[in-house]
Amino acid sequence: MAETVFFYIFTSLMIAAALLVVFHRQPVYSVLSLLVVMFCLASLFVMLGAYFVAALQILLYAGAVLVLFLFVIMLLNLAPEALARMRIFTLRTIGTTAALVLLCILWTIVRASGERLSLSNAAPADGTVESIGRLLFTAYLLPFELVSFIILAAIVGAVTLAKQEKR
């Protein structure tokens, strides 16, 4: 029953923090609530046996990506009223309705298809560093090498964009 308790604690905290990300007016607080979402998600990953991915989640997302976000928000130093504005009311209503319809559709699909798979009788696949690394360098070697090209392209793109043009 410990799993049930921890699932509901972490999920409710995660959803509350996600709502705060979307609806908070100050972007710095939004980034910090996204940090809470990341940590709750990492603990849920640990509950599902994905230890290595949980560590990556904290190291890469919370450690690198969100710090980059905070850095840029503080660098730009925007006026508060420019940040808080949302879209006009009709667009906002249409967007929220569309997302809620999608949520209903997704829940119906999940409810219809997810019953056949239960977590208790499945063979636990522990995502330790050893098992993930072994798979990564045998079956998934080509995607692993290709992903380095994406990172190279991102580095070159960021440097090119950030370079000051000479007049």
Partner 1 sequence: MITLTHYLMASALLFCIGLIGILIRRNVLMILLCIELMFNAANFAFIAYARALGDLGGQIIVFFTIIVAAAEVTVGLAIAILLSRQVKTLNADEVDLLKW
For residues 42 and 50, is the Cβ–Cβ distance under 8 A? no
Contact criterion met (CB below 8 Å) for 44 and 7: yes
Distance from C-alpha of 98 to C-alpha of 87, rounded to nearest angstrom: 15
Restricted to residues 90-149, the positions that interact with partner 1 (CB under 8 A) are: 91-92, 94-96, 98-100, 102-103, 106-107, 110-111, 114-115, 117-120, 122-125, 127, 131-132, 135-136, 140, 143, 147
Provide long-range contacts, Cβ within 8 A and 24+ apart, for 29-32: 31/66, 31/69, 31/70, 31/73
| Tally of CB atoms within 10 A around 25 | 12
Q: What is the nearest approach in angstroms of partner 1 to the Cβ of residue 60? A: 5
- Shortest distance (Å) from residue 126 CB to partner 1: 9
Judged by CB under 8 A, does residue 9 bind partner 1?
Answer: no
What is the spatial distance between Cα 8 and Cα 11, in angstroms, rounded to a whole number?
A: 5
Number of residues this chain uses to bind partner 1 (CB under 8 A) = 83
Under the criterion CB under 8 A, does residue 58 sit at the interface with partner 1? no
**Mask 63-92, x = binds partner 1 (CB under 8 A)?**
-xx--xx--xx-xx-x---xx-xxx---xx
CB of 110 to partner 1, least distance (A): 4
